[in-house]
Amino acid sequence: MVMFWGLKGVDKARLSARGFGETKPVVDNDSKDNRAKNRRVVFTIENASSSQPN
């Protein structure tokens, strides 16, 4: 996703990626379906400055 947004013009210095599928699963990794649920992308959008209005 970082590469995708970088190609769309977002400054890559503003982007980061972290993998949590193995360490923070949303469900147990005890079945094929559950492992698929843990392969996910979660976006967090934050203000550039805490002084900006929401």
- How many structural domains is the chain composed of? 1
Please give the Cα distance from 49 to 43 (Å, whole number): 18
**Residue 35 host element (H or E):** helix 32-38
Q: How many CB atoms lie within 10 A of CB 35?
A: 14
The pair of three-digit structure tokens given for residue 50, joined into one six-digit string = 């805490």
Residues in CB range of 50: below 8 A, 6 or more apart = none
Q: What is the pLDDT of residue 50?
A: 52
Share of the chain above pLDDT 90, in %: 28
Please give the Cα distance from 37 to 27 (Å, whole number): 7
Tell me the whole-structure pTM to 2 decimals: 0.51
Answer whether residue 54 shows pLDDT above 60: no
pLDDT tens readout for residues 3-45: 999 999 998 888 888 888 778 899 999 999 999 998 888 888 7
| Range of the structural domain that residue 13 is part of | 1-54
